[in-house]
Structure 1
């Protein structure tokens, strides 16, 4: 052993193994080099992205009537825009924001996302001085915050942990905080609404500012992020050593480059044409479904966006397959299994969006519950969600159930919870079907999200972790938004007048 260094020095170095004066590279996975305290803070800060997303969603949900009363709006389809607009922005922009993280660094984008989320949460509270239209706009802009935070928080975790039980538990925890965040957000919003409902948004803004500062400190530096690999077709990075300097320049041109060349470089790296086409398609398609209960399907204001959305989506797929130099949605990563899982998730979370919106309206309108009592009705979701997260982590980890089995359990839970609520008599005791539904639905939430995230995260290349995380968050939030719109159309055709209590 003692003569091995001498032997190594006496032998000529091969060209493939040049001597390097640099220290050995850090561990490939960031979690391997973090102290327990730093790791705990990292997991806390990233999980807060999911926590605050659901907190802002449910807070507005339980405050729909107080907000409507203060703004002079009683129409339920119009009030639904405060829920659908938030989820629409989050769902449609998540993939693009994941690409921003791939290019500029997931940690940086997480900090920026928290800051943006805080700004528009504050402005959402200030909309009380204006009108309903501005309130909807601020909710849509507020939804961009989760669009930035969610994929980049997931990508931070995806690149920090190697595949294994520990990663499964972290993703399960990320999913578990969703129902907990919803209940905590609902409780604080209801309490603050006793004074004035805008304080619910302003308190959220203050907490988000704290998280932005915390993320700037605890999230590992991502100076090594592989933005230049956006133009690489070789997943194993065999050519990265030889061409890294050229690729770096292609993404970040020198100051002597012309403005047009810089713009094209940024456009190619972010796939701006594809982003504009894809986001427009999703927004128009969802707008048609959400606006239809208000205007009716016979109106041009509904039919034109629907047709344009479908056409633009087809154009988006064609552009991504044939023309984009760095596709926003690399279709080679979307295997049949991944596509099936994403389709299942969007259906499950669409049913969740319908369940939450109509259950809160039913409990408020038919049973006369206040926002605080309404949140108390939902409180079992937090406990059931925490238990479901532990069970999900065990199933995906030591019990080795496998993500497909866990997804089947999740979809079954969504179905059973929705049926229990739909078939419950209006004035049935709380401890009947409604209470059981509160225990079952979190299993669907906490099984579907981590299972889908693990499937996609392990199926795509490491350089596409932002895109993979974006896909899951996109289908979750877009599913909620589209579910609300479809349910409104069904209600309109079955009931006739969506503004009646019956």
Structure 2
């Protein structure tokens, strides 16, 4: 029984700048040299029920993120109606603003987890998520600006939770089939959380939509308590950074110049694309942030390459294999963001379904998602299918799924393309996420799991937000008073993105085959 990921020819250096130390993706050299970074006890040292609860709480980070995302999607027009907002561009900020902060801050909070402990940061994330969920509900007493502001800050909660939850799992499990299955389950929770979160929110909204967020806040508070009691405390370590740190150590360890320039660049770039759907391109409100974002990103790259002792994003670790993973994940999950946005808009605005009936039409997603996770775990584990092959299958699923909904006739029965679409899309989600996470998780040492988890989650969530912005611009320019034509325009753009990702996968597979043949010839 081999490892769940292939051993690439090119070694991947540690993302924490540990000198000349390099490792390969087969996971044979993953043990840390010193226990300088907090990690949880190995799963062998805790009981089976506690292990199950630990995995459950970690998966709740993914569950709650997707639940918050999908619940607002199904209530988009209900919430907008409370503030007399109907403009699609302004409504989209309820979705893209949340994903913006999730994707933008994940990398930094993964580093905080490496420095201060994954369990501590996970609990802080659940707490922050809970507080701002209350504010989202309370915004009904104020105005639309407050709810957008609250949604943006609410997204920081998942940005804290996701990388540290994955880092807990990455630290607890060594490379192998069990780790592959745990990561597959983490990915399967995404569609389950989306549908259950949307269903609960739609049901509660029959009374009053703010209660959906207040109930969600209560559950997050429960997770804080459960996490504190269930997740094992890390072993005590002698670490000067924790036991008497200085501001200079914080500055170096967290790479504050890189964090500030990186976050600012991502926020401005995303803001420009999403704001363009409201004010258009020929405005300073769009052009200035876009130009500034590109300039600041140049500063960020310079800081990471030339200045930072411990770069937030070590560019020397980004080789062809890592670039393949991040590029395909970006295309696939941007497509997913476009798909789910317009899928729900078509159901509610074109077919005039209620929020609850919309959720009913989405019920195959969690069922197929669980099945897809099991299949993915088996492919990456016992069957030893290479992750690039799994990623290719995932991008094929994204491409087929978005094509089905982009071409569906508005009066077609549910059991036609709509149903088939909900069967196909989960394979894209639940194949791409665990495959990508395993490649990067097994490519770094155990104490740097926060960085590895952060990279995948950053690309996933930032791509969702950016994809929605791109598609919104296409929708704006092809609408011309025809709402369905605008939706299809955005979906056609999604087809292009998914096809691009699929093309990258195919090129990568050809490259791998060429390298293998060359190696055999040389031998």
Q: TM-score, normalised by structure 1?
A: 0.87
Counting only pairs closer than 5 Å after superposition, residues 210-249 of structure 1 correspond to structure 2 as: 210-223=222-235, 248-249=239-240
- In the alignment, which residue of structure 1 is the partner of 2:72? 60
Contact 1:491 1:498 in 2 (8 A): no
Look up the SS of the partner of 2:240 in the other structure: helix
Counting only pairs closer than 5 Å after superposition, residues 5-154 of structure 1 correspond to structure 2 as: 30-154=42-166
Look up the SS of the partner of 1:80 in the other structure: helix
Q: CA RMSD, aligned part only?
A: 1.7
Contact 2:41 2:234 in 1 (8 A): no
The answer to whether 1:383 aligns with 2:371 is no
The answer to whether 1:178 aligns with 2:162 is no
The answer to whether 1:312 aligns with 2:324 is no
> Deviations along 1:240-278, whole A, 9 cap, x unmatched?
xxxxx6xx3356546xxxxxxx32221211111110100
- In the alignment, which residue of structure 1 is the partner of 2:256? 272
- In the alignment, which residue of structure 2 is the partner of 1:194? 206
**Using the alignment, how far apart are the partners of 1:250 and 1:143 within structure 2?**
28
How far does residue 426 in structure 1 lie from its aligned partner after superposition?
1.2
Contact 1:64 1:79 in 2 (8 A): yes
How far does residue 156 in structure 1 lie from its aligned partner after superposition?
0.1
Structure 1 unaligned regions, length at least 5:
1-26, 226-244, 255-261
Q: Which of 409, 432, 436 lines up with 1:448 in the alignment?
A: 432
Q: Aligned pair in 2 of structure 1 residues 224, 151: CA closer, same or farther (>3 Å)?
A: farther
- In the alignment, which residue of structure 2 is the partner of 1:205? 217
How far does residue 108 in structure 1 lie from its aligned partner after superposition?
0.4
Contact 1:76 1:498 in 2 (8 A): no
Q: Aligned pair in 2 of structure 1 residues 28, 65: CA closer, same or farther (>3 Å)?
A: closer
> Deviations along 1:209-266, whole A, 9 cap, x unmatched?
01111111111222557xxxxxxxxxxxxxxxxxxx6xx3356546xxxxxxx32221
**Using the alignment, how far apart are the partners of 1:497 and 1:470 within structure 2?**
41
- In the alignment, which residue of structure 1 is the partner of 2:167? 155
Contact 2:41 2:232 in 1 (8 A): no
**Using the alignment, how far apart are the partners of 2:438 and 2:349 within structure 1?**
40
Contact 1:365 1:501 in 2 (8 A): no
The answer to whether 1:403 aligns with 2:394 is no
> Deviations along 1:395-453, whole A, 9 cap, x unmatched?
11111112111100100000000001101111111111111010000000000000000
Larger radius of gyration: 1
- In the alignment, which residue of structure 1 is the partner of 2:417? 433
- In the alignment, which residue of structure 1 is the partner of 2:401? 417
Q: Aligned pair in 2 of structure 1 residues 298, 28: CA closer, same or farther (>3 Å)?
A: closer
How far does residue 343 in structure 1 lie from its aligned partner after superposition?
0.9
The answer to whether 1:465 aligns with 2:456 is no
Q: Which of 312, 318, 323 lines up with 1:328 in the alignment?
A: 312
**Using the alignment, how far apart are the partners of 1:219 and 1:268 within structure 2?**
29
**Using the alignment, how far apart are the partners of 2:184 and 2:241 within structure 1?**
38
How far does residue 29 in structure 1 lie from its aligned partner after superposition?
6.0
> Deviations along 1:470-491, whole A, 9 cap, x unmatched?
0011111001000000001111
> Deviations along 1:8-48, whole A, 9 cap, x unmatched?
xxxxxxxxxxxxxxxxxxx9961111110110010001001
The answer to whether 1:362 aligns with 2:353 is no
Aligned residue pairs, count: 449
How far does residue 167 in structure 1 lie from its aligned partner after superposition?
0.1
**Using the alignment, how far apart are the partners of 2:278 and 2:484 within structure 1?**
14
Structure 2 unaligned regions, length at least 5:
1-38, 487-523
Look up the SS of the partner of 1:53 in the other structure: helix
